[in-house]
Amino acid sequence: MQRHYSVPPLLGALRMQPLSTALLIERPLIHATLYELASIVFSSKALAELSSGDDRDEFERLRVRHEIAMATKLLIEVAVILRNLLDSDSWPMDVIHETHVESRPEIPVGELVQVGKTTELPFREACNKLIHSECISFGMSDVPGKMAHLDGIVEAHGRKGSKKWVATIRVADFIRMATRQL
């Protein structure tokens, strides 16, 4: 026995109109996320210098459990939100913002290696690579006799079809460009 379901006329009339999600995200929240990302990545060296360097160090335990996971989460969050904002019909949001963006030209935020060819990585493409990556890894540097720390470089690895790519992103430049979008 076949059953047929239909939407009653009243429910069809109550359907919501789609809204641009870019309009629902408040700029102060994005600024706070960028600040938190910068704080995690660029305080990493200071925490390393405070460490004792042994395997049971309290700062090392914090780093292992939280630092990279939180930085990854925040980086992807910013990439998704700002990519959505850039692709919405509401960007730039006002004349003042448009003038602000024009006075601060885009800078590349890293490099993209694809099929053996290296090119500069603009901000929007960096967002795409972070969103579509299969693996994200943070560069680490050593402080002699102390724990390792984040060095401000991120690698996103992925593929488009059968072609592999690696995007190297400078976190400081990514945050600069993200802030310029707001």
Q: What does the pLDDT look like over 53-102, one tens digit per residue?
A: 787 888 787 777 789 999 999 999 999 988 888 877 655 555 555 555 55
For residue 146 the two structure tokens come to: 């102390």
Indicate the domain borders of the chain: 26-180
Q: What does the pLDDT look like over 114-151, one tens digit per residue?
A: 988 999 999 999 999 999 999 999 999 988 888 888 99
Let me know: does 171 contact 154? Beta carbons within 8 Å. Answer: yes
Is residue 6 scored above 60 in pLDDT? no
Burial per residue of 125-145, b for 16 or more beta-carbon CB atoms within 10 angstroms, e otherwise = bbbbbbeebeebebeeeeeee
Is residue 10 scored above 80 in pLDDT? no
Return the percentage of the chain with pLDDT > 90, whole number.
46
- 120 phi, psi to nearest 5 deg: -65, 150
Contacts (Cβ under 8 Å, ≥6 apart) of 89: 20
For the chain, give the mean pLDDT: 82
Q: What does the pLDDT look like over 12-63, one tens digit per residue?
A: 555 555 555 544 567 788 889 999 999 999 999 988 888 887 878 887 877 7
Q: Provide the whole-model pTM.
A: 0.79
